[in-house]
């Protein structure tokens, strides 16, 4: 099953960034599969098209999610890479944003001179990476009209799925339609299009493959519904990720939103408390449960009640509930038809959706 770990691949394609790696890795993987390139794949979530999170192919292509935590991505030897964004995450290890940026600089420096760097032109930190490698660089963006690949005329349907025109070097390239919600996924798709085009994949093949991508598990995933109330689950555990989810939600048609958030790690909650509170105010009804410790012990003197209190100082009501069964009961007593319930976090919060539906 894991034979790919001992093989040497001539064309390793890494998808990096502090957010969006799983979705973009999935999109790129589907494009290579659709093109018949038989890639080996390693992605950080279950991708239904391969019935798991890895696939062993027989070609030279290895598409993988390149994680920056503890600088593990420096152990890879990428021929090409996408860098989606650089944000202040994993501060328990990096301590500050400057150290994160330095790690990404070292990562892109691994690219060979005949390699490829695809970067987000809307992210200033990403754009600076072009000077850290001799590899060819390609840019994508929505706000930066000078990018090589730009999305224009973006519209959303009632599901929050985008349709948009792609321009390549200011010339119309193709119209794209997504089957996942949110503006952030327009950017993810653009990065995929840019890389796959450089690999010679036909634009209509790219269009078909991206349309077939309906999401990896725990990425704004529809868990189920009852009484016309929809339950979604999302892995977001950083303020920027939660904001992207909130913005994606706004493009859907619904009555009210109910968010159940489980903070992930004490260090992240402590260091980004103000940012978490601010982004959570984008939802109509807010429930906070206990912090998921993951690898940590609470040496930070922080609790979920601190987050609740911080949200209240911003003029928004929030409710702290520890027990998952109590949360499910709370939601079932209050949510109404046409509401959306969203469980958010990288821990065990995903269990609550099933309890609500039980």
Distance CA 179, CA 241 (A): 19
Active site residue 22: yes
DSSP string, 203-258: HHHHHHHHHH----TTSSEEEEEETTEEEEEE---SHHHHHHHHHHHHTB--S-EE
Distance CA 273, CA 270 (A): 5
Active site residue 134: no
Cβ–Cβ under 8 Å, residues 17 and 82: yes
DSSP string, 267-287: HHHHHTHHHHHHHHTTSSEEE
Burial class, 144, CB count within 10 angstroms (exposed 0-12 / middle 13-18 / buried 19+): middle
Active-site pick, 12, 18, 21, 241: 21
SS3 64: strand
Active-site pick, 22, 25, 40, 265: 22
Cβ–Cβ under 8 Å, residues 140 and 197: no
Active site residue 343: no
Tokens describing residue 30: 């589907």
Tokens describing residue 29: 């993987």
Active-site pick, 34, 65, 71, 241: 65
Tokens describing residue 356: 């609500």
Q: Which long-range contacts (CB under 8 A, 24 or more apart) does 96-99 make?
A: none
Instruction: Write out the catalytic residue numbers.
Output: 21-22, 65
């Amino acid at each position: 099953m894991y034979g790919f770990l001992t093989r040497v691949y001539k064309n390793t394609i890494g998808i990096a960034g502090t957010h969006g790696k799983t979705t973009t890795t999935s999109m790129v993987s589907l494009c290579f599969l659709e093109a018949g390139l038989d890639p080996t794949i390693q992605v950080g979530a279950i991708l239904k098209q391969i019935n798991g999170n890895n696939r062993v192919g027989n070609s030279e292509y290895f598409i993988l999610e390149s994680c920056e935590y503890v600088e593990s991505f420096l152990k890879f030897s990428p021929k090409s890479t996408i860098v989606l964004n650089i944000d202040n995450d994993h501060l328990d290890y990096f301590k500050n944003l400057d150290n994160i940026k330095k790690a990404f600089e070292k990562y892109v420096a691994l690219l060979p001179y005949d390699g490829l760097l695809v970067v987000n032109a809307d992210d200033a930190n990403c754009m600076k990476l072009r000077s850290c490698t001799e590899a060819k660089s390609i840019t994508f963006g929505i706000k930066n009209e000078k990018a090589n690949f730009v999305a224009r005329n973006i519209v959303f349907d009632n599901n929050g799925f985008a349709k948009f025109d792609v321009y390549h070097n200011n010339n119309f390239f193709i119209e794209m339609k997504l089957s996942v919600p949110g503006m952030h996924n327009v950017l993810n798709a653009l990065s995929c299009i840019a890389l796959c085009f450089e690999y010679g994949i036909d634009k209509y093949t790219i269009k078909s493959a991206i349309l077939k991508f309906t999401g990896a598990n725990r990425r704004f995933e529809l868990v189920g519904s009852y009484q016309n109330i929809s339950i979604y689950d999302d892995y977001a555990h950083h303020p920027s990720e939660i904001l992207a989810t909130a913005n994606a939600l706004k493009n859907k048609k619904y009555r009210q939103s109910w968010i159940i958030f489980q903070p992930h790690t004490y260090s992240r909650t402590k260091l980004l408390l103000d940012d978490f509170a601010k982004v959570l105010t984008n939802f109509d009804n807010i429930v906070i449960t206990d912090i998921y410790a993951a690898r940590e012990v609470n040496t930070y003197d922080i609790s979920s009640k601190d987050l609740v209190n911080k949200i209240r100082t911003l003029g928004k009501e929030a409710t702290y509930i520890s027990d998952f069964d109590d949360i499910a009961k709370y939601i079932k007593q209050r949510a109404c038809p046409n509401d959306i319930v969203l469980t958010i976090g990288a821990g065990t919060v995903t269990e609550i959706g099933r309890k609500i539906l039980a």
